[in-house]
Structure 1
């Protein structure tokens, strides 16, 4: 007879096991990322437990009262095909009642589970990686692009809210505090043309979110990051519709990897301005 499976709120002492699960899957999150979720909404960080041992996780973060974002869906491989993913999802969705829009970025393996729960595809993303190569020559740094300071955040947060679809000041402030050397902005004539934040992961530095007026600005910001972070292994997630940008990335040493599918439940009321959203913050952040 199978052991009983139950769902409970995640505790700080569960993080060691959570990190083992994400490492097994080759995911890029750090302990600090998990702690961010626990600080934001502890009741939206869950574990599935079998015989007093956590064997699965899921998190969610609320952006204002508009949009909830689900991430970190992980199940120990030894306990798969027992309905644990669905149990975790049903409980997190129950706790997210009241949100008109709920979103996530699904792996191909997870997409089927989410479709059964009513999630619909918004668009596809492709992951690109570039291994560290300190000898690689990058263009000179762009004199028009400046580092982001705390004083700049209110202007960037206003733009990000319009483009992303909901305010996530908590994420931008977390990213800037954790890795200020990876945050850049372009301001001309008193107008913010675009910005890029970055995050140090366990294996790669993630580029994103990147919000820009157009692709020329987006490329300038990415080029600045490449010049600044040349010694880092890099990863980014870009919408599949941006074929020219993807070709440009390949020419700069990036390799195309796995697909992600951005999905939503119920009403996609807060879709933002996708044409100005070039790189996402990561599957766990949106």
Structure 2
């Protein structure tokens, strides 16, 4: 839906990869701290879901609406260039993304919202399900990888991807493998033996500032702690690790408070169409704020 304040040359297109790279820079300037090598894998996951608003060829606003398979979608990267805020360009591209999802087979739409934006999204039919608490950990050089934490290799990656699928509302075919192939990514899993049952795994990647940890999934707090420790051992001494933990995973909150101290920020997980079942007690770290 357009308003009378929109420039007559404003239009909404599918985003090219080059335009997405610019939007990633917008996200960095917003303080979202994206992974430095995220762009290609995120874009290739569903390029048809990336929308860009432009006046002529000038980039104005962005949003993503990624359909996993058929009935579940995740919205993100909702940004308006500061020059054009408060003029209706964000609303216009948001409405177009919602329209496209509503004519598809999608039943549930998810998103992460900054707290000032929650009320706006509630007016579009989204409800807050829970909060993600952001923690920052300072690497001290004393982190170690214990005997039951193994590096993910080509021999173990299929099993790790199958484990990850258990945490998705709908499996994202090929996405996890591609995520683990991002340059500079380090991933580990927990098992009693090298090719035994997987009871947890985690990923660390370099970000605009420090590192991001995500996902971090584990059967219990002890396994989660060992995985987090192993990931910390792969980061530069003195660097900071950022992780977003579901607040209603009480074990996860205890673990991160003990290691990181106070919460440094919050995001609201919101759904339209109802809250899907989730393995919340095993989710110690969000996969990605941009794609779920």
Task: Give the TM-score of the pair, scaled to structure 1.
Answer: 0.88
Gaps of 5+ in 1: none
User: Is the 2:6–2:88 Cα contact (8 Å) retained in structure 1?
Assistant: no
Does 2:103 align with 1:83? no
Moved more, 193-202 or 173-182: 173-182
Inter-partner Cα distance in structure 1 for 2:187 and 2:136: 19
Figure out how many residues of one structure are paired with residues of the other and give that number: 282
> Equivalents in 2 of 1:217, 1:43: separation in Å?
38
SS of residue in 1 equivalent to 2:160: helix
What is the deviation of 1:246?
3.2
2:168 counterpart of 1:164: yes
Cα distance in structure 2, aligned partners of 1:211 and 1:31: 22
> CA 1:240–1:196 in structure 2 vs 1: closer, same or farther (change >3 Å)?
same
* Greater mean deviation of Cα atoms: 121-130 or 21-30: 21-30
Matched, 1:148 2:152: yes
- Asked if structure 1 preserves the Cα contact closer than 8 Å seen for 2:6 and 2:89, the reply is no
Query: In the alignment, does 2:16 pair up with 1:14?
Result: no
Structure 2 regions of 5+ residues with no counterpart?
Answer: none
Contact 1:193 1:217 in 2 (8 A): yes
Q: CA RMSD in A?
A: 2.3
Map of 2:199 onto structure 1: 193
Partner Cα separation in structure 2 for residue 69 and residue 155 of structure 1: 25
Question: Offset of 1:88 from its aligned partner?
Answer: 1.8
Partner of 1:282: 288
Deviations 1:51-100 (A, max 9, x none): 43111111233322242111111111221122222222221122222111
Partner of 1:94: 99
How far off is 1:31 after superposition?
A: 6.4
Q: Alpha carbons of 1:2 and 1:85: their partners in 2 closer, same or farther (altered >3 Å)?
A: closer
1:168: how far off? 2.5
Q: Which runs of 4+ in 1 moved over 6 A?
A: none
Paired with 1:42 and 1:163, the residues of 2 have a C-alpha distance of 23
Give the corresponding residue for 1:264.
271
8 Å contact 2:38–2:182 — kept in the other structure?
Answer: no
Question: TM-score when scaled to structure 2?
Answer: 0.86
Q: Is residue 211 of structure 1 aligned with residue 217 of structure 2?
A: yes
Residues 223-260 of structure 1 show CA distances to partners (whole Å, capped at 9, x for unaligned) of 11122224342111001124454344344345521110
Mapping of residues 100-139 of structure 1, within 5 Å: 100-131=107-138, 136-139=140-143
User: Over residues 201-236 of structure 1, what are the superposed CA-to-partner deviations in whole Å (9 max), with x where a residue is unaligned?
Assistant: 222311111111111111111111122224342111
CA 129–179 in structure 1, closer or farther in 2 if over 3 Å, else same: farther
Identify the range of structure 1 (223-232 vs 213-222) with the bigger mean alpha-carbon deviation: 223-232
Greater share of helix? 1
**Alpha-carbon spacing, 1:141–1:174, altered in 2? closer, same or farther (3 Å):** same
